Structure 1
Amino acid sequence: MKKTPRLLVLLILGLLSAVGPFSIDMYLPAFKTIATDFDTSVDHIQLSLSAFFVGVAVGQLIYGPLLDKYGRKKPLLIGLGLYLVASILCALTKDANHLILYRFVQALGSCAGLVASRAMVRDLFKPEEGAKIFSMLMLVIGISPLLAPSVGALVVEHSNWHMIFIILAAIALLIILATIFLLKESYAGNKEMSLKPKAIVGGYWEVLRHPIFLTYCLVGSLASAGLYSYLAGSSYIMQSIYGLTEAQYGTVFAIIASALIIATQLNRIALNRFNSSEIARVANSCQLVVSGILLAGTYFQWINLPILVALIFFYLCCQGFTFPNTSALALSPFSKLAGSASALLGCIQMGLGAFFSAMVSYLHNGTAMPMVSMMALCSFLGLICYQVLPKILKINKD
């Protein structure tokens, strides 16, 4: 195999990272249509989103040790194949509960791309490059929320929601082919590594008890959970409360999501002057301020649609600065256990995302309060972790 250009490698890694987000964003505009088709409620369909988060969280723990033992590509291709099959099952289902189950299986497949791409960044690039590389990958990941909801809305308008999952299956097939023919193996694997439960748990425990990993994993994961809270509640709020059509919701969603692209690319510039820890601290503090305004404004009912969109836009801007820096910092101490560290990082991120998105559904009361309160709580807890954990664990944040 000829050497693949660096830019193409980054593109493929970005696509692997974007499989999960695209699977989330593309069907959000179809929630009401799916609920009507299955004769159920929107909050019941929202559980398919929570099931996806749970699947990604659980699945990453499975792939981590496999990636460390067998290398990156073999487990990755198995996961992508599972995703392809599950996407077809989602397209063919005629029952809401089956959709929730198949979304869980689809997530188990998609998380292979998330874990492998992060581990490959750790394999291929020096630790000091990590935050910039993650910011570059966010260019590809960021296209997902820009395009996916609009594509999903157009598909529903001109065809039906089943076609969304057929398109996801086709995308998976293209990524599988790109992985086979264009992406070189970045780590041969450690054949001596044991896959016995005790050894796997021991490896994860070694990662988890590292103070740098624990601190930045929790800070970044809580920030991400705020984003997932928004994803869980935005469809109902934009369409049912503010009366947007599916197409209009897709457009507004894309505008808000552009904040991630803008912020992650500004982050690359900021890294030339400030270190990752400093940037993460400021971003986390700003996110708390924005979410506080959002919460107060919603409670006192003075927020209209433009103000809501603007505040969530700035909330996601903060996330765009937090994610690449906390991810790079959390993975920086590891080399041989990069796959396990990546898996545990992703598991905790998605686990918290699943919990807070499920809380949005559980607290559903016909207002925006469940969504904005969870967003604010995530920001508050993230800042607490950033301020308290380094003192308890005796690490230098700078």
Structure 2
Amino acid sequence: MAAERNTTSEKTNSRLFLLIAMGMMSAFGPFVTDLYLPGLPALATYFGTTTSWVQLSLTSSMVGLASGQLLIGPASDKYGRRGPLVLSMILFIVSTAACLLAWNIESFVFFRVFQGIAGAGGVVISKSVAADLYQGRELNDFFSLLMVINGLAPIVAPVIGGFVMRYTDWEGIFIILLAIGIVLFGVSMHFRESLPKERRIPGSVFNSFGKFVPIVQNGGFMNYVWIQMFSMGVFFTYIASSPFLIQEHFRLDAFAYSICFAVNASGMIVGSRITPRFSSVFSALKSGVYGLCLSCLAFVAVLLFDGSFYLMETLLFVMMNFLGMILPTSTSLALTLERDNAGGASAVIGFCMFLFGAIVSPMTGFGPMITSISVMTLLCCLLALLFLFIAKKRSGQSA
């Protein structure tokens, strides 16, 4: 037994390396979005375009993040995790260079799709690697630690973006993204395969894509996916609207906005570290959804009744705390039900989440801003609550 453990450890990276590397990879897709958030108003000016077109660059990136996972997840179940991860980093380097050479907003939006696809590799494979190596409470603990590292991205990214915008323009931000892509390519080259050949899906690669059918037919798995998707709808509403809400409605500059965004994002780290203290993973998820609904109701009331900026900011921080509880727990509970198809299952989770984000983001730009934000926030949190009740009924969990 000892010899077997030693052989295994020789073939895999250390837990610390996996935490850091997979945390960086899983945060990479969102980092691509968050870093240039402070530059959205400036980007509209640079290309001489509208707010909706600039928000469409967010949407196109999320479409890439969603669709890319459907391709890369099953491919990683067939060919292993390392190869698709390395190829994803190469695609990111190429697509980021293309964004820097964009000649108008339409070409920029187009190249952002491929940036999203590249980012999808890190998102889906990081979850799959965790499911390859861990299970049960250990899997949930790994995901909660992953959320700590993952949560640093939305903290650091907009602050860096806001700082860069003081001295350069959006191109400076994308040069930084290009450099990060090169670093992560180097990290991916040192990653050791976590999925042995005997556990890969045999036959044609199309066999792995065929695994989507039983995955999405698994009602218990999909319940946790819906909970995560609608909860993250609150987050995507915030991402798409916050640059304009804070900079134009509340009259803060880009750097002050980036500080606010970073403070709010730190709430996700706090929430993720609370989850291991609960008696069960489901209890932590339940508390997260309940708390999110209550804080969203208070947040919407502040917006509609023209409350103070500081009260709104406090409620946003609280909302991010509860989202930090929902993300690792819903992912852990879902992947536990589809351990044998971890790559495909991770792809379904990511696809649903980012596709919904692509739908939500432009909707915040139509109609009066406060009304759009309020409607989308309430709709998303109430749908998450509905699917929590369904999940409790299916699993026989107590209220």
- TM-score, shorter chain, exceeding 0.5: yes
Scaled by the length of structure 2, what TM-score is found?
0.93
Residue of structure 2 equivalent to 1:386: 388
Aligned-pair Cα RMSD in Å = 1.6
May I ask how many residue pairs the two structures share in their alignment?
A: 387
Any conservation in 1 of the 2:69–2:350 contact (CA below 8 Å)?
Answer: yes
Amino acid in the other structure paired with 1:13: M
SS at match of 1:234: helix
Q: Select which of 354, 368, 371 maps to 1:369.
A: 371
The alpha carbon displacement at 1:200 in A equals 4.7
Identity %: 28
Distance in 1 (CA, whole Å) between partners of 2:345 and 2:12 is 27
The alpha carbon displacement at 1:96 in A equals 0.8
Amino acid in the other structure paired with 1:381: L
Q: Select which of 127, 130, 147 maps to 1:121.
A: 130
1:319 paired with 2:327, answer no
Unpaired stretches in structure 2, ≥5 consecutive residues:
1-9
Residue of structure 2 equivalent to 1:171: 180
Residue of structure 1 equivalent to 2:5: none
Residue of structure 2 equivalent to 1:396: 396
Per-residue Cα deviation, 1:101-151 (whole angstroms, up to 9, x for no partner):
111110011100001000000011123212111110111111111111111
Residue of structure 2 equivalent to 1:24: 33
The alpha carbon displacement at 1:154 in A equals 1.4
Instruction: Please list, as runs of the form range in 1=range in 2, the aligned pairs for 1:330-345 lying within 5 A after superposition.
Output: 330-345=334-349
Distance in 2 (CA, whole Å) between partners of 1:316 and 1:329 is 20
Distance in 2 (CA, whole Å) between partners of 1:225 and 1:300 is 23
Scaled by the length of structure 1, what TM-score is found?
0.93
Q: Select which of 194, 201, 206 maps to 2:214.
A: 206
Distance in 2 (CA, whole Å) between partners of 1:314 and 1:265 is 14
Per-residue Cα deviation, 1:219-241 (whole angstroms, up to 9, x for no partner):
11111111011000000000010
Residue of structure 2 equivalent to 1:92: 101
The alpha carbon displacement at 1:318 in A equals 0.7
Amino acid in the other structure paired with 1:280: L
SS at match of 2:162: helix
SS at match of 1:343: helix
Q: 1:112–1:374: structure 2 CA closer, same or farther, 3 Å change rule?
A: same
1:145 paired with 2:146, answer no
Amino acid in the other structure paired with 2:156: L
Amino acid in the other structure paired with 2:205: L
Residue of structure 1 equivalent to 2:205: 195
Distance in 2 (CA, whole Å) between partners of 1:141 and 1:335 is 22
Q: Select which of 234, 239, 246 maps to 1:226.
A: 234
Distance in 2 (CA, whole Å) between partners of 1:80 and 1:201 is 22
Any conservation in 2 of the 1:87–1:165 contact (CA below 8 Å)?
Answer: yes
Distance in 2 (CA, whole Å) between partners of 1:201 and 1:397 is 32
Unpaired stretches in structure 1, ≥5 consecutive residues:
none
Distance in 2 (CA, whole Å) between partners of 1:128 and 1:150 is 34
SS at match of 1:185: coil
Distance in 2 (CA, whole Å) between partners of 1:134 and 1:335 is 15
The alpha carbon displacement at 1:389 in A equals 4.8
Distance in 1 (CA, whole Å) between partners of 2:192 and 2:129 is 10
1:254 paired with 2:259, answer no
